[in-house]
Structure 1
């Protein structure tokens, strides 16, 4: 498997977690108060953010250096905060990341996956 196809497979997984976040927000009507008071809602979002951060660590350095429009380091940092400091996370930051940043990341994944679709089908 080439590094490019591996990176694309990782992006497909990231895309899935982005979709899960968007679905969860829809299920809870994008309500910030509910997010702050409902641990199920909060945990569902936090788990997806943590998984995305973990997956980003496995993208090739070449891919990361070619796509500097995405804040890869901040994504990994969010994973570390969620994984190791969950009781101290800033809910507003998690909310804003999951409401706005995830859309940008999902759109990036969509574009990159579509651009590499031909190679994936050959494998």
Structure 2
């Protein structure tokens, strides 16, 4: 798998976890008070954030440098904090990430994927003899 293909695959998985967070919010409700009171809600969202951070660490350095519209290092840092200091994490910090950062990350990843798909189209047409 080429580096570009690997990065695209990782972005698709990041978007999948962003979508899981949206589904979790729909299921439990878009309320900080509910989030604060429900450990199942917090755990489900935190697991998705952890996975997003883990995946972001597997993007190539050149990809992250070229697509620096989100703080990849901070995303990985949030993963590390959740994984290693979960009991110390601020519930409001996680909620802020879910409310503000995850939608921005999802939109940013989708915009990158759209660009890659546009660039991929002529190569596929050429490969298929069109």
The alignment's TM-score, normalised by the length of structure 2, stands at 0.88
The CA deviation at 1:117 is 2.2
4+ residue runs over 2 A deviation: 117-122
- State the alpha-carbon separation in 1 of the partners of residues 42 and 105 from structure 2: 20
- Residue 34 (str. 1) matches residue 49 (str. 2): no
Aligned runs of 1:30-69 on 2, under 5 Å? Answer: 30-69=30-69
Deviations 1:10-52 (A, max 9, x none): 0000000001111111211211111111111000100000000
The CA deviation at 1:106 is 0.3
Structure number with bigger Rg: 2
Unaligned runs of 5+ in 1: none
- State the alpha-carbon separation in 1 of the partners of residues 75 and 23 from structure 2: 20
Aligned runs of 1:1-123 on 2, under 5 Å? Answer: 1-117=1-117, 119=120, 122=124
How large is the Cα RMSD of the aligned pairs?
A: 1.5
Unaligned runs of 5+ in 2: 125-130
Q: Which structure's relative contact order is higher, taking Cα pairs within 8 Å and 6+ residues apart?
A: 1
Deviations 1:39-71 (A, max 9, x none): 110001000000000000100000011112211
The alignment's TM-score, normalised by the length of structure 1, stands at 0.93
